[in-house]
Structure 1
Amino acid sequence: MRDVARQVMADEETTSADLVPAMCGFVYLMVPEIQELIRRAPLGDVPAQVAQVAVDGACRRVTTPPGIGPAAVRRHARKVAMAVLALCDHYESLSSAADGANTP
């Protein structure tokens, strides 16, 4: 997931439009997993609240149309890629916190 998102972020010349559906698929795969980790977090847990904001933003990114023209498509692809990278970070953060809470 990260490799595809990094590829889109590094791509300055092409539109990467063919990778947007894959990244949207990544978002749709990660969102339920992260939401479950958020539900398991203690009430008022700041990392969980920040992750929820990232989930909301990622969902918004994948449902927003890219606009007209190659520059708009490239910007949209980069925004979705940033959302994927953020979700990966939040998943790792919340997973390690959940694992740490379960260890005696």
Structure 2
Amino acid sequence: MTHRTGTTPVTAGVESPPDIATMRDAINRLLDPEAVPEAPPLEAEELETLTLQLRGHLDLLMPEVEEAAQRLPKDNIPRYCALACLGEARGKLREQPSPTPHGPVAYGRRLARVLNALCDHYEALSGCP
């Protein structure tokens, strides 16, 4: 769990910070396949696994972003934006893929986009690059 004192992140206990690089790799697998040129197109089973991975990343990152945002003053714009993004993420997690042929990949991309935004908020709020 990461705590901030002023602008310097402080890690409490033995928990390590979220692995943003791994999260971004999963995001890129869906949103920017050229970023992983050696990766073949996703098969249905791989897409399902990747979607579950994205959901897991969201479950891990959302509390971190919320905690960091809650420490900011109530009238702080980055706080407001991060909390709005959290609401969007919660909505995406409640959704199900459309039964259309492109439904699962579209759903995975929606999760990837909201995870990407939360990664940006986490980095901004925690002072991590």
If the length of structure 2 is used for normalisation, what is the TM-score?
0.69
Shift of 1:17: 2.4
Distance 2:101 2:121 in 1: 30
Q: Which AA in structure 2 matches 1:26?
A: H
Greater C-alpha Rg:
2
From the two aligned structures, give the one with the greater strand fraction. Answer: 2
- Do residues 73 (structure 1) and 104 (structure 2) align? yes
The aligned amino acid for 1:71 is H
What is the percent sequence identity of the aligned residues?
A: 28
Gap regions ≥5 residues in structure 2? 1-22, 34-40
Alignment of 1:61 onto 2:92: yes
Which residue does the alignment assign to 1:102? none
Q: How far off its partner does 1:59 sit?
A: 1.2
1:8 to 17, 27, 30: 30
The amino acid that maps onto 2:114 is A
Q: Which amino acid aligns with 1:36?
A: E
Distance change in 2, residues 1:93/1:27 (3 Å): same
Higher helix fraction (1 or 2): 1
- 1:82 counterpart = 2:113: yes
Q: Which residue of 2 aligns with 1:19?
A: 50
Stretch moving more, 45-54 or 65-74:
65-74
* TM-score for the superposition, normalised by structure 1: 0.85
Cα distance in 1 between the residues matched to 2:101 and 2:81 = 32
Letter of the structure 2 residue corresponding to residue 34 of structure 1:
V
2:75 corresponds to? 44
Match of residue 32, structure 1, among 55, 60, 63: 63
- Structure 1, unmatched stretches of 5+, are 100-104
CA RMSD of aligned residues (A): 1.9
Q: Which has the higher contact order (CA 8 A, sep 6+)?
A: 1
Instruction: Give the distance between the partners of 2:61 and 2:83, measured in 1 at CA.
Output: 12
